Amino acid sequence: MNMEEQEGNTVIRINLLQTAMTLGTYLGLYMILVYVFTALSIKYMALSLVSLPLMLGVPVVAFFLIKKFRDENCKPFFPFPVSWMLTILMFLFATALSCMAAYLYLRFIDNGAFSAIMMERLNAYVQASDLMAQNMTDAAQIEQYNQTMEQFKQYFTWLCSQPADQLTKQLLQSALVWSNLLSLIIGIIASKKIRINK
């Protein structure tokens, strides 16, 4: 899929799929690194100091990949439709790559260790919350707390009981939702329309 934009006498041709696959591979490798550190931070809490900045860095890395491509290949101008489409496709390929890696890990390497650690962390959190809730005196507040904790436990128990393909599907859905929102923002910020002075 090629896109052409013309500004004055300058024509820029971009092979969107090829470019998006290349940029998506780099972003996908970064997202795999994020998933690795996020999974490890569940087991080793100190690594959450690394995993959280890495997770927040996903849109930053995506922006700099698009900006680097723009600066190297589209110096005169980089209109919003091209910027947005390239960012969407880059996120799509990155999500496919990172979710495939997550599936392969969960299906063939993990053997239920991730779910077991999640349940262990859930139980520790519930125990700590129950200790704090002992100081509550308002009956309505206690009832609200119990309902919230029960829903929380049910969700995580359901999530941890899912097979690898269902966990990957959940990850894929959330990644696609966030990537669609981020691609619009990054597309706007990375676009550039400069009039060429004759």
**pLDDT single digits (tens) 9-44:** 555 566 888 999 999 999 999 999 999 998 888 888
137: in domain: no
What is residue 195's DSSP assignment? P
Looking up tokens 């005169």 gives: 76
Q: What average pLDDT score do residues 94-100 get?
A: 96
Average pLDDT, the chain: 85
Contact 2, 14 (CB under 8 A): yes
CB count in 10 Å sphere of residue 122: 17
Collapsing DSSP to helix, strand or coil, 196 comes out as coil
Residue 160 lies in a domain: no
Domains in the chain: how many in total?
1
In contact, 164 and 53? CB cutoff 8 Å? no
135 within a domain of the structure (yes/no): no
Q: Which domain holds residue 99?
A: 13-110+165-193
In a domain, 157, yes or no: no
Span 138-148, average pLDDT: 80
Indicate whether 5 pLDDT > 60. no
Q: What percentage of the chain carries pLDDT values higher than 90?
A: 42
